[in-house]
Structure 1
Amino acid sequence: MKKFLLSIVSLIFPFLTFAQETTEKGLDQRIDEAFQPISDFFSNVIFFEIAGTPFVLLLLVGSAAFFTIYFGFPNIRFFGKAINVVRGKYDEIDHATVDRAYGDVTPGGDAIETIRDESKEGEVSHFQALATAVSGTVGNGNIAGVALAIALGGPGATFWMIICGLLGMSTKFVECTLGVQYRDVDAEGTVYGGPMYYISKGLKDRGFATLGKIAAVFFAIFCIGGSFGGGNAAQSNQATVVLKELMGWESTSAGAIIGLVMAILVGIIIIGGIKRIAAVTEKVVPFMAVLYVVACLYIIFSNFSFVDDAFSLIFTEAFNPRAIGVGGVIGVLLVGFQRAAFSNEAGAGSASIAHSAVKTKYSASEGLVALLEPFIDTVVICTMTALVIIIFNSGGTFDYGGIAGMIEQADGTFNAVVDGVTYLDVKGKVLIDGELREGAGITASAFAEYIPYSGVFLTVAVVLFAVSTMISWSYYGLQSWKFLFGRGKTADLVYKLLFLLFIIIGAAASMNSIWAFSDAMIFAMVFPNMIGLYFLFPVVKKQLRRYLDAIKEAKA
């Protein structure tokens, strides 16, 4: 432990010295200058457009709709069964005699005829796997991301976020079933799973070994990038925003110091592996989710007379948006889908890495558990955040879609002049009481309107969301790193040090470059992951039938 922490400090110390010596330009400006070209490049590649619409969003939504129809609306039909799996109602099935009817390969790779007790494989329970995966998705995308969606697309973006979340439940079911089905389990019982494995092993089974290897490598690279970006830097960035605002800190080095503290905290947790991560997340995630939902419900019920108006705005402006510069229905739809996809990550494949570690011999059982994620993340928590912000803005506190009179600059940023005051770089930001607010800052203003000392409460919530997301994503990135560079201790240490360094970078940088890079990396994972899903979805149907038959036999 001491050596690990000393390694962190030695790696970060030059960075902090650089922060203190920076005088002409702020640390955030220097980091932005370094990362902006990278962010721009990846954004242009990943978000290439067809008829004005990013292809990756068409792929995500179209695939989610296809899986929903193909599997007969599993997001609705199996919702109750998914809850029962989490509750442990069907746990006895995992200890029953293995059926021979399907003659295929069970989780872990052994032949079904060996009648091996697969329930002994895995490292965490259904609930722990769900908590770990939910902690990776329920993060500041639910606070900052929703606020950003409404700032850009108005209330109508909420409607499309909900639709994307409901459809995404089917995609999560498919990818997490495959994650368990094709996982690796070593001699010590450690589980290695996720798209890297079901892409490479699954496509090999179908005679496309080379394509599988290439796609798996690309996924692993993008997942590592996603772990540094959306699962790390973006989280520490928003946690730093609310902490600095609460404490009144304006120094550019304050962000790096906050990041250092978070890096040490996260480092202590992640060195314990998936079991320690699961032990932390199964306690932190329910606590923070309930705490945040209760606060949102308090605001919503305190303003109950506005709720019907809020839902009316969400629905009408989804099809007839009035937000400034949103670009019509397609514009608000894209904003909603993009933020929902970033928040729940359905189609990115990341959650299947956590779900692969579950103790079960029926891969479809964990697929059913996984479909609860987008519902919790997007349909429930994101919608509540949106309602709070819309109720807060019922009196016209800020302009939906941004600040009126925004003018695009030569560098692609937008400036605005309000009452003779010039505001720089205002895209995605709103003006509240004469101050520019972005992301979590918008949500913080809404909470402050209705809850005394809400600054402390929301800061705690944002930090808990951030830390839990970071520890889950450290596991996702590490699994991808192991897939590329092997499972040795040195490789592990190198990844963890890099991961912790990006916590500092995210905390010290501005929101723009960090979120652009984060979006690009998360959405880049979709392309190789979808290759695996489209080749292997018949396997999922077979495993679902196998699990449902086992439940019927147990009841008979």
Structure 2
Amino acid sequence: MKHIRETRIAASAAGLSLLAGTAGAQTLDETINATFASATGWFVNFIFAPFPGTSFPWIVAWLVVAASVFTLYFGFIQFRVIRHSIQLVKGDFSDPNDAGEVSHFQALATALSGTVGLGNIAGVAVAVGIGGPGATFWMILAGLLGMASKFTECTLGVKYRNEYEDGTVSGGPMYYITKGFAERGKPGGKVLAALFAVFCILGSFGGGNMFQANQAHQQLSGVLGEYPGWITGVVFAIIVFIVIVGGIKSIAQVTEKVVPFMAILYCGTALIIILMNIGNIGWAFGQIFAGAFTDMGIAGGAVGALIQGFKRAAFSNEAGVGSAAIAHSAVRTKEPITEGFVSLLEPFIDTVVICTMTALVIIFTQQLIVDPETGRYVMDEATGRIATIDGNSGVGLTSAAFASAFSWFPYLLVIAVVLFAFSTMISWSYYGLKAWTYLFGEGKTQELIFKLLFCFFVIVGAAASLGPVIDFSDAAIFAMAVVNIIGLYVLMPIVKREVESYLGRLRSGEIRKFA
């Protein structure tokens, strides 16, 4: 979730309960929960611990500070090359004979499918419900900064990937930390790479898999009526296996169709609602900017808005976590920097576009209750959050905001959640697979073992309520960021040389569109 992209934290804050399918499963759940929580609670608490006297998790600061450093170090690269990035996605500079397995667009779609999810729907509503409209401003800012982190890690992912005789490739932080540290004469590369791989596998089974299956089942059972979760799990597991057994090419062929469909469906609906309420535009943006810098009755005032906005962006787009670098490493290119340029579009689409659309719909439809006499938000004393129409929060708040214009939207939301969950699972299966083969070696047998394990956990996730297991998985996902960003700091001079070399050749005309 980093999702937390799709994290239990966002879900629990959104008021979504993880229910067991049977009484027997619930007893087993409770046993596992108690045992696992006692063993791993310290790790979860450490990763998500706030700075003393605040509610600002240090891991969010770790991500945002890194994004700011990379933005300054590379001279605001995310704004300088945006036009060229779009040209690369379109395939204007693509040579089909280059090494790699997927196109720039397919790599981008695969990585996006791993980050776009429930956090864009429920997590944003939580952020706005706690931090007010001002959280939207800080969320956008953090998303723009995160583009530089994504650029850095995905450039390195391609530069240090392994290319095999059969045309397949393997890349990601495991490889660039190992090879890059050795190249620069820095110690500890292999240890850090192994740590990253372990965290990635744990994250793929939990936040990237079980949580997604569980939330998809809860949404489906809400519409279809209660039924055993294992049924949803088996159906999902079969479909997921059919897709992932074909490797990254098969995954990319699915994500390049599903992701644009999801984005257009969701953002298109949001845009229509915004246009229907266009008369509120001045008031809405006034609320966003005022809330970002002043106290509007929100708990924590402007600082509270900043914390919620930064947290949502960091948990949503995973910039700096290193997961997307694994997907982007599979791209067909001989210029590593080109995939860095493509990847920086990812936080823009995920956070600046999709997350912002959710926030704007909530604000434009005036779901948050304002005191007409003072202009300040009314607080719900029971929850400590902004009071909302009908007391909605999380995914319920987003659903109510959309339903205020389209009564059928809750049904569309079910489709969106199921698609988001499915796309996240198939992307994270690839991330976990590459971490698995890094530790246990390349080979068809090793790959099949991981894919079967992954599909088994799809069934477990849909059928059971394993709260602490998911919490630990989410912590593992952000532990990936601790390791990855250390690597990025060490290797960013290498990326800078790549930038200067490529842009110099592009300006001189040496690099031209591929005919």
TM-score by length of structure 2 reads 0.86
Tell me, yes or no, if the aligned pair for 1:233 and 1:503 is still in contact at 8 Å.
Answer: yes
In the other structure, the counterpart of 1:232 is 209
Among residues 201, 208, 213, which one is paired with 2:190 in the alignment?
A: 213
- What is the aligned partner in structure 1 of residue 390 from structure 2? 433
- The share of aligned pairs that are identical, in percent, is 54
Aligned residues: 486
Structure 2 partner of 1:20:
22
Where does 1:101-500 land on structure 2 (aligned, <5 Å)?
119-209=97-187, 211-249=188-226, 254-322=228-296, 326-394=299-367, 396=369, 403-406=380-383, 433=390, 439-500=394-455
1:154–1:401 Cα contact (<8 Å) kept = no
Question: Post-superposition shift, 1:329?
Answer: 3.4
Aligned alpha-carbon RMSD (Å): 2.9
Superposed CA deviations along residues 269-303 of structure 1, whole A, max 9, x for unmatched, are 11110000011111111111111111111111111
Q: Does 1:548 align with 2:507?
A: no
CA distance, structure 1, for counterparts of residue 378 and residue 60 of structure 2: 20
Report the more deviating stretch, 141-150 or 165-174.
141-150
Q: Is the 8 A contact 1:39 1:520 kept in 2?
A: no
- Structure 1 unmatched ranges of 5 or more: 1-17, 96-118, 407-426
**Per-residue Cα deviation, 1:509-543 (whole angstroms, up to 9, x for no partner):** 56965764454222111111012111111111111
Query: What is the identity, as a one-letter code, of the residue corresponding to 1:45?
Result: F
Q: How many angstroms does 1:439 deviate by?
A: 3.5
Query: 1:330 Cα deviation (Å)?
Result: 3.3
Cα gap change, 1:42/1:330 in structure 2, threshold over 3 Å: closer, same or farther? farther
Question: What is the alpha-carbon distance in structure 2 between the residues aligned to residue 459 and residue 432 of structure 1?
Answer: 21
Choose 496-505 or 173-182, whichever is displaced more: 496-505
Paired letter, 1:458: L
AA in 2 matched with 1:255: G
Conserved 8 A contact 1:238-1:439: no
SS in 2 for 1:357: coil
Aligned to 1:534: 489
Structure 1 position 27, deviation (Å): 7.4
Does residue 74 (structure 1) correspond to residue 30 (structure 2)? The answer is no
Distance 1:150 1:32, change over 3 A: farther
Deviation by residue 1:325-353 (Cα, 9 ceiling, x = unmatched):
x4343333222222211211100011110
What is the rounded CA distance, in whole Å, between the counterparts of 1:212 and 1:376 in structure 2?
32
Q: 1:195 to 1:430 in 2, by over 3 A?
A: farther
1:441-495 deviation line (CA, Å, top 9, x unaligned): 3322222221132122111111111111111111011100111111233332332
Q: Secondary structure at the match of 2:381?
A: coil
Letter in 1 for 2:382: G
Match of 2:7 in 1: none
Cα deviation, residue 129, structure 1: 0.8
Q: Determine the structure 1 residue equivalent to 2:48.
A: 47
Aligned twin of 1:83: 86
In the alignment, the residues of structure 2 paired with residue 310 and residue 39 of structure 1 have an alpha-carbon distance, to the nearest angstrom, of 43
Shift of 1:36: 4.4
* Structure 2 residue ranges without an equivalent (≥5): 1-19
Note the alpha carbon deviations across 1:242-283, whole angstroms, 9 max, x for none: 22222243x6xx333323322222121111100000111111
